[in-house]
């Protein structure tokens, strides 16, 4: 049974708020993770807390599909692109400039002696600032880390009209078949990790799989991998919501989440033993499109969907701030880390306080910006 958008609005608002809070919490954990063996307790606290919230970004992607798929009949591709991509280009440009400026001012004028292990204050000079202000035309940088999602989202918007044409006429069985194939791609990062131990030596020095090589980065599963699977999954769950009792959902989803979380957190710690401080390997355990993070995302999504939260004015207003909070919060995580950088507080308390403070400051800024026509377009 397809659920109408009006019926959906309550739980969608809840999904937006939860996903936003989880993103902020994740970024507040990162400085603790970055201590690695220099402070083992901080590292472990950051890993086990940060791993808990990895569903954050997949939930945002699934929310996008719930809201936009199927595309309204009669909407042309050009109109869809103009409305959707056009909506995020201005915020992308604005925050690609604003965030480096905010970070530069903070680390040079407010906290030049920060103990945040993620960065070196010596990197914040006028010359490096100039580079950060225009290189967004190529990609995001450290100061604009959360904006990676907007670059990726543009790609999803580009492909959505194409998959929409198939989704609206595909049978339930056909959609499930594609989701099963996507499920295979969720384990590919781990196959790539273990392949050398099984004798795989790559080709011409390239360690890619299934057709990947120096002259071809598009392997067998490339076109069905990544966040596109979350779009299809969300569409499927919206059109065919699970008819599970809370007892059945708990029996399936709780062990699923715990297993995913265990692989994510313990796997990160174990991987660090073999590749200490090497994010190229460590991030594999935190891939948003890895099987373990999927195992955490699915239970959270279906649980929020089943809650079927009634529309509430305060929740709708909070949900309306989430896009802006996502865009602007990163610099405030630096401030919050420094603010609570004291041995008097347990590490977990510092993370919780930092996340709460970051959300509060970011929400206040977004609320103020939303009151003015000139700045509203950058946060909504």
Tokens 């040079």, residue located = 108
Non-local CB neighbours of 315 within 8 Å, separated by 6+ positions: 10, 13, 14, 17, 309
Q: How far is residue 371's CA from residue 30's CA, in Å, rounded to a whole number? A: 32
* Token duo for residue 119: 């960065």
Say what percent of the chain tops pLDDT 70.
Answer: 98
Buried b (16+ CB within 10 A) or exposed e, 23-51: bbbbbbbbbbbbbbeeeeebbbbbbbbbb
Q: What is the DSSP secondary structure assignment for residue 311, as one 8-state letter?
A: P
For the ranges 119-128, 156-165, 284-293, 333-342, which has the lowest average pLDDT?
A: 119-128
pLDDT digits (tens, 9 = 90+) for 231-272: 999 999 999 999 999 999 999 999 999 999 999 999 999 999
On whether the CB atoms of residues 36 and 272 are closer than 8 A, the answer is: yes
> Which pLDDT belongs to residue 8?
47
Mean pLDDT of 70-84: 93
The string of DSSP codes covering 11-36 is HHHHHHHHHHHHHHHHHHHHHHHTTG
CA nearest to 32, candidates 118, 142, 141: 118
Arithmetic mean of pLDDT over the chain: 93
pLDDT digits (tens, 9 = 90+) for 167-181: 999 999 999 999 999
Cross-strand bridge partners of residue 206:
203
pLDDT digits (tens, 9 = 90+) for 184-214: 999 999 998 888 888 988 888 888 899 898 8
Mean pLDDT of 353-358: 98
Buried b (16+ CB within 10 A) or exposed e, 107-144: beeebeebebbbbeeeebeeeebeebbeebeeebbebb
Non-local CB neighbours of 158 within 8 Å, separated by 6+ positions: 81, 85
Mean pLDDT of 14-30: 96
- Which ranges of 106-207 would DSSP assign to H, the alpha helix? 126-134, 148-167, 172-185, 188-194
- Which ranges of the chain would DSSP assign to H, the alpha helix? 5-33, 40-52, 56-68, 77-105, 126-134, 148-167, 172-185, 188-194, 228-239, 246-274, 279-282, 291-307, 313-328, 330-339, 347-370, 373-376
Non-local CB neighbours of 187 within 8 Å, separated by 6+ positions: 290, 291
pTM above threshold 0.85: yes
């Amino acid at each position: 049974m397809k659920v109408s958008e009006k019926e959906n609005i309550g739980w969608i608002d809840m999904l937006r708020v939860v996903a936003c809070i989880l993103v902020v919490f994740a970024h507040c954990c990162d400085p603790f993770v970055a201590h690695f063996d220099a402070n083992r307790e901080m590292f472990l606290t950051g890993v086990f807390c940060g791993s808990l919230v990895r569903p954050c970004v997949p939930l945002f992607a699934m929310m996008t599909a719930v809201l936009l798929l199927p595309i309204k009949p009669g909407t042309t591709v050009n109109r869809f692109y103009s409305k959707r991509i056009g909506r995020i280009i201005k915020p992308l440009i604005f925050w690609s400039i604003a965030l480096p400026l905010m970070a530069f001012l903070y680390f040079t004028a407010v906290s030049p002696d920060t103990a945040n292990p993620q960065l070196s204050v010596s990197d914040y000079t006028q010359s490096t600032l100039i580079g950060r202000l225009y290189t967004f035309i190529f990609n995001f940088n450290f100061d604009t880390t959360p904006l990676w999602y907007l670059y990726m989202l543009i790609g999803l918007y580009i492909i959505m009209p194409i998959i929409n044409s198939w989704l609206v006429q595909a049978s339930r069985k056909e959609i499930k078949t594609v989701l099963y194939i996507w499920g295979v791609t969720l384990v590919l990062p781990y196959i790539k990790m273990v392949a050398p131990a099984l004798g795989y030596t790559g080709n011409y020095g390239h360690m890619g799989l299934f057709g990947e090589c120096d002259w071809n980065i598009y392997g067998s599963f490339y076109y069905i991998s990544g966040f596109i699977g979350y779009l299809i999954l969300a569409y499927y769950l919206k059109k065919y919501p699970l008819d599970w009792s809370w007892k059945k959902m708990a029996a399936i989803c709780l062990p699923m989440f715990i297993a995913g979380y265990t692989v994510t957190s313990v796997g990160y710690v174990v991987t660090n033993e073999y590749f200490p401080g090497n994010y190229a390997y460590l991030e594999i355990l935190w891939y948003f499109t890895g099987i373990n993070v999927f195992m955490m995302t699915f239970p959270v999504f279906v649980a929020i969907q089943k809650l079927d939260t009634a529309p509430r004015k305060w929740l709708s207003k909070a949900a309306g701030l989430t896009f802006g909070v996502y865009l602007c919060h990163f610099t405030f995580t630096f401030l919050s880390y420094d603010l609570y950088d004291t041995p008097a507080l347990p590490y977990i308390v510092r993370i919780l306080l930092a996340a709460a403070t970051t959300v509060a400051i970011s929400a206040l800024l977004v609320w103020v910006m939303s009151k003015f026509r000139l700045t509203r377009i950058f946060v909504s």
